[in-house]
A and B are shown apart, each in its own frame.
Chain A
Amino acid sequence: MRIALFVTCYNDTLFPEVGIAVVRVLERLGHTIDFPYAQTCCGQMHYNTGYLPEALPLVRRFVDIFRDSEVVCVPSSSCVGMMREHYEKIALASGDKTLQSDVSALLPRVYEFTELLVHRLGIEDVGAVYPHRVTYHASCHSLRNLHLGDVPIRLLRNVRDLELIPMEATDLCCGFGGTFSIKNADVSGAMLEEKLQYVQKTQAEVCTACDNSCLMHIGGALHRQRAKMRTEHIATILGSDSISPATRKDAY
């Protein structure tokens, strides 16, 4: 299958290893990856901050780029959530009939990475090897917008040598919330502090999730506290094998 990758603006810029791991996993499964270079951002930041008119051209851009893709893979549930929850509404507000029908036609072909593997490709074992103790943070968007349920957990359970440690209050918001973490920095910090108690209680080596936004937040605090634990996107875990572990070991 030809799979178009929408890597997302922040993975592209800050966490390239996520895109690399997605390519690695999907190619290992025999698929071909397209990466349209024109892609940038889904418009979530603009829309969620109250700038709907500013988000519209970004929605249009995304739709133009991926209109003809067979399947679009996005390693971020918050970006997929943005598309599923809001793209139709934004298109409707624009009054552009073509955009509306393009959005409706494209959305069913857009998948979050773990969702693509389990629901579209029917694969729960990607042949990964990851000899670490791992705990999973269920991000709000993966849980309540995409209803991923135990999809990521099923994938993690099939990773060789991975010890999965359940996290208490795994569904508690980490307090990131995009611009919330800046506008309400103190409240966001307090939420993170509570989340960290549950994260650290697991005594895992790695905290993973389907969203690097949460992980940037949790990982930032772990680093500030010089904790032994680090964060790793689920794609890099699934992209690891015994020959080339995808962990950013050099960053630590």
Chain B
Amino acid sequence: MTPTSEREHQPLDFPSAALPLLHDAQMRGNVRHATGVIQGKRFRVVGEMPDWQLLREAGRQIRAHSLDYLDFYLEQFEQRCTAAGGHVHWARDAAEANRIVLQLAQNPTGRVIKIKSMTTEETGLNHALEAAGIQPIETDLAELIVQLGHDKPSHIVVPALHKNRHQVRELFVRAMNLPHLGDRPEDLAEAARVYLRQQFLSTPVAISGANFLIAETGGVCIVESEGNGRMCLTLPRKLISVAGIDKIIPRFRDLEVMLQLLPRSATGERMNPYNSVWTGVHPGDGPQEFHVVLLDNRRTEVLRDPEARETLHCIRCGACQNACPVYRQTGGHAYGSVYAGPIGAILTPQLALMKRGQSLPYASTLCGACYEVCPVKINIPEVLIHLRGRVVTGRPRSLRALHPEAIIMRSMQWMFLSETRFRLAQQFGRIAQRPWIRRSGWIERLPSILGGWTRTRDLRPLPPQSFREWFQARPRSAIESASKSPPQVSPESSEVPHG
């Protein structure tokens, strides 16, 4: 298994990471099918909400306000959580968060049970636990599939979305030693249930993430579908919740908005089957020791950029991934990060201080499908463009001006800033293209970087006359008579000869 922490340090280039995935027909089929199903469900349950756009706006405002006053709400959360009997820890980065959790997670069984958590994926906690001799057991069915397959999650909400049930069966047959296991969903769920039940009843420490931290009460909220979370939150003696500092919302009543937006956007459900909110400890009921680890891991750096800070509004619903036509082709692994799809394309490079994942902001056609479905209205295309700007200006000063792309952009700008130069370029293009025009009359192969175009598509050549040349050449009388005597049929001369 490749540890997340190491993988995070590998160079990441989206186009080359995507290439092998594009040839994985099975994976692409699974991803298309699964995202299609979830999108369909989302579309139905969002459609039945007459105030959906108002809810989105409310969600956006709650998230924007929370981040504008993050310092206040974090301290309020710490104070209220502590008053309720919880312990709050502050972690500057992934390593510090893992260190804190490792100390807290020590127990005689040498195991911990886990609720699906993107934040602990981000910190590479499972690897850190294993290295320290503690076995983490994922209890979310999809995370269990990922874990047993020594795989990586490919989607925020549906981490094993790239696997179908036949592949899951193969995995369970091997890992659980069940040679006669069927591949019906109920067979697979039952196998997981039997396997996990034992872990729930015998493991004294649970580790969770958090969907929301409620500043007003010091409470933590988690939504889930399988009940495994509820088990982890109630059965073990000790509970450790790891949460990014961005997960804060001001008041309990803000859940009214969030718990409508999140399930409909994430899984296409009106409500999550299990919604848990817990606050501190209660004698004789649930975990008797409760810790929250608040993780920064460069979120404050994201916050510093006013043009990109809305990235932190994200409530991890994954709707942008399901809607993204790029993700639809490549799946999540091409993004080289636990955060895939459009949100990953903006979050990953920022969490890496733009030193890694510079190709990610370019992994989008700016089609806007992500923005359209985002429940808290993160304008992802706008942030993508802004981050592209940061990639360009972030190049080493000595190389910036000489970067081939920069040279092309400057030349194009120089050409566009003069009518004469633009005309000459059009004329030059018509001559320069001649050797490339095939017998079909189209260009079928181009050199160097333009070759990317002609790999799968032809290009119509420049016609012998540009529009401006046509406009200039047409008789004045045609123009004047046209404006005086409507309606009339345009003259035949408006045909453009074409080669």
Chain A partners chain B: yes
Contact with B along A88-103 (1 / 0, CB 8 A): 0000000000000000
Q: Which residue of B365, B405, B417 contacts A58 across the interface (Cβ within 8 Å)?
A: B417
Indicate whether A176 sits within 8 Å of B389 (C-beta atoms), given known contacts A144-B372, A221-B457: no
Indicate whether A140 sits within 8 Å of B362 (C-beta atoms), given known contacts A35-B471, A47-B385, A49-B405: no
Distance in Å: Cβ of B395 to nearest Cβ of chain A: 10
- In the assembled complex, the Cα of A189 lies from the Cα of B452 at a distance in Å of 9
A152 on the B face (CB < 8 A): no
Q: Assess the B364–A37 pair: CB atoms within 8 A.
A: no
Q: Assess the A40–B326 pair: CB atoms within 8 A.
A: no
Residues of B within 8 A of A144 (CB): 367-369, 371-372
A-facing residues in B446-499 (Cβ within 8 Å): 449-450, 452-453, 455-460, 462-463, 465-472, 479, 482-483, 486-492, 494-498
Contact with B along A66-93 (1 / 0, CB 8 A): 0000000000000000000110000000
- In the assembled complex, the Cα of A27 lies from the Cα of B390 at a distance in Å of 45
- In the assembled complex, the Cα of A14 lies from the Cα of B430 at a distance in Å of 10
Indicate whether A58 sits within 8 Å of B330 (C-beta atoms), given known contacts A14-B462, A16-B463: no
A201 on the B face (CB < 8 A): no
Chain A's closest residue to B482 (CB) is: A27
Indicate whether A12 sits within 8 Å of B413 (C-beta atoms), given known contacts A49-B405, A52-B389, A177-B366: no
Residues of A within 8 A of B460 (CB): 14, 216, 219-220, 223, 251
A24 on the B face (CB < 8 A): yes
How many residues of A sit at the interface, in one of the four size bands? 35 or more
B436 on the A face (CB < 8 A): no
Residues of A within 8 A of B412 (CB): 41, 45-46
Q: Assess the A37–B468 pair: CB atoms within 8 A.
A: yes
Q: Assess the B458–A224 pair: CB atoms within 8 A.
A: yes
Q: Which residue of A12, A38, A244 contacts B494 across the interface (Cβ within 8 Å)?
A: A244
Q: Assess the A216–B416 pair: CB atoms within 8 A.
A: no
Residues of B within 8 A of A54 (CB): 409-410, 413
Q: Assess the B495–A192 pair: CB atoms within 8 A.
A: no
B73 on the A face (CB < 8 A): no
Distance in Å: Cβ of A144 to nearest Cβ of chain B: 4
B419 on the A face (CB < 8 A): yes
A121 on the B face (CB < 8 A): no
Q: Assess the B416–A40 pair: CB atoms within 8 A.
A: yes
Contact with B along A218-232 (1 / 0, CB 8 A): 011101100000000
- In the assembled complex, the Cα of A20 lies from the Cα of B392 at a distance in Å of 38
Q: Which residue of A32, A49, A184, A250 contacts B409 across the interface (Cβ within 8 Å)?
A: A49
Highest count of chain B CB atoms <10 Å: which of A31, A43, A189, A221? A189
Distance in Å: Cβ of B367 to nearest Cβ of chain A: 4
Distance in Å: Cβ of A2 to nearest Cβ of chain B: 9
Indicate whether A19 sits within 8 Å of B325 (C-beta atoms), given known contacts A29-B487, A180-B362, A185-B452: no
- In the assembled complex, the Cα of A61 lies from the Cα of B416 at a distance in Å of 9
Q: Assess the A244–B489 pair: CB atoms within 8 A.
A: yes
B288 on the A face (CB < 8 A): no
- In the assembled complex, the Cα of A184 lies from the Cα of B330 at a distance in Å of 12
Distance in Å: Cβ of A161 to nearest Cβ of chain B: 17
Distance in Å: Cβ of B441 to nearest Cβ of chain A: 7
Q: Which residue of B22, B330, B368, B468 contacts A35 across the interface (Cβ within 8 Å)?
A: B468
B444 on the A face (CB < 8 A): yes
How many residues of B sit at the interface, in one of the four size bands? 35 or more
Q: Assess the A32–B479 pair: CB atoms within 8 A.
A: yes
- In the assembled complex, the Cα of A51 lies from the Cα of B416 at a distance in Å of 15
Chain A's closest residue to B406 (CB) is: A51
- In the assembled complex, the Cα of A190 lies from the Cα of B462 at a distance in Å of 26
Contact with B along A102-121 (1 / 0, CB 8 A): 00000000000000000000
Residues of A within 8 A of B492 (CB): 243-244
Residues of B within 8 A of A217 (CB): 457
B-facing residues in A225-247 (Cβ within 8 Å): 239, 241, 243-244, 246
B212 on the A face (CB < 8 A): no
Q: Assess the B490–A244 pair: CB atoms within 8 A.
A: yes
Q: Assess the A241–B367 pair: CB atoms within 8 A.
A: no
Q: Assess the B366–A19 pair: CB atoms within 8 A.
A: no
Q: Which residue of A127, A177, A192, A194 contacts B367 across the interface (Cβ within 8 Å)?
A: A177
Q: Assess the B15–A183 pair: CB atoms within 8 A.
A: yes
- In the assembled complex, the Cα of A24 lies from the Cα of B470 at a distance in Å of 13
Indicate whether A191 sits within 8 Å of B479 (C-beta atoms), given known contacts A223-B442, A224-B457: no
A11 on the B face (CB < 8 A): yes
Residues of B within 8 A of A43 (CB): 416
B440 on the A face (CB < 8 A): yes
Q: Assess the A184–B362 pair: CB atoms within 8 A.
A: yes
- In the assembled complex, the Cα of A16 lies from the Cα of B61 at a distance in Å of 46
Residues of B within 8 A of A141 (CB): 368
Distance in Å: Cβ of A140 to nearest Cβ of chain B: 4
Q: Assess the B409–A187 pair: CB atoms within 8 A.
A: no
B363 on the A face (CB < 8 A): yes
- In the assembled complex, the Cα of A21 lies from the Cα of B395 at a distance in Å of 44
Q: Assess the B417–A40 pair: CB atoms within 8 A.
A: yes
A30 on the B face (CB < 8 A): yes
Q: Which residue of B366, B417, B450, B458 contacts A182 across the interface (Cβ within 8 Å)?
A: B450
Residues of A within 8 A of B466 (CB): 12-13, 16
Indicate whether A250 sits within 8 Å of B368 (C-beta atoms), given known contacts A57-B417, A127-B487, A187-B330: no
A7 on the B face (CB < 8 A): yes
Distance in Å: Cβ of A72 to nearest Cβ of chain B: 16
A-facing residues in B357-398 (Cβ within 8 Å): 359, 361-369, 371-372, 382, 385, 387-392
Indicate whether A190 sits within 8 Å of B388 (C-beta atoms), given known contacts A20-B496, A32-B479, A37-B468: no
Residues of B within 8 A of A58 (CB): 413, 416-417
B329 on the A face (CB < 8 A): yes
B426 on the A face (CB < 8 A): yes
Q: Assess the A46–B413 pair: CB atoms within 8 A.
A: yes
A168 on the B face (CB < 8 A): no
- Can you list 7 contacts pairing A with B, beta carbon distance less than 8 Å? A16-B470, A27-B488, A28-B482, A182-B453, A183-B452, A185-B455, A192-B456
9 tightest CB-CB pairs across the interface, nearest first? A177-B365, A30-B486, A185-B452, A50-B388, A220-B457, A144-B368, A19-B467, A27-B482, A140-B367
Q: A20-B467, A50-B385, A172-B325 are in contact. List 13 more A-B contacts (CB 8 A).
A: A13-B467, A16-B496, A37-B419, A43-B416, A49-B405, A49-B409, A54-B410, A86-B385, A177-B364, A177-B367, A185-B452, A189-B457, A220-B460
Taking beta carbons and an 8 Å cutoff, which residues of B are in contact with A? 14-15, 18-19, 22, 325-326, 328-330, 359, 361-369, 371-372, 382, 385, 387-392, 405-406, 409-410, 412-413, 415-417, 419, 422, 426, 429, 440-442, 444, 449-450, 452-453, 455-460, 462-463, 465-472, 479, 482-483, 486-492, 494-498
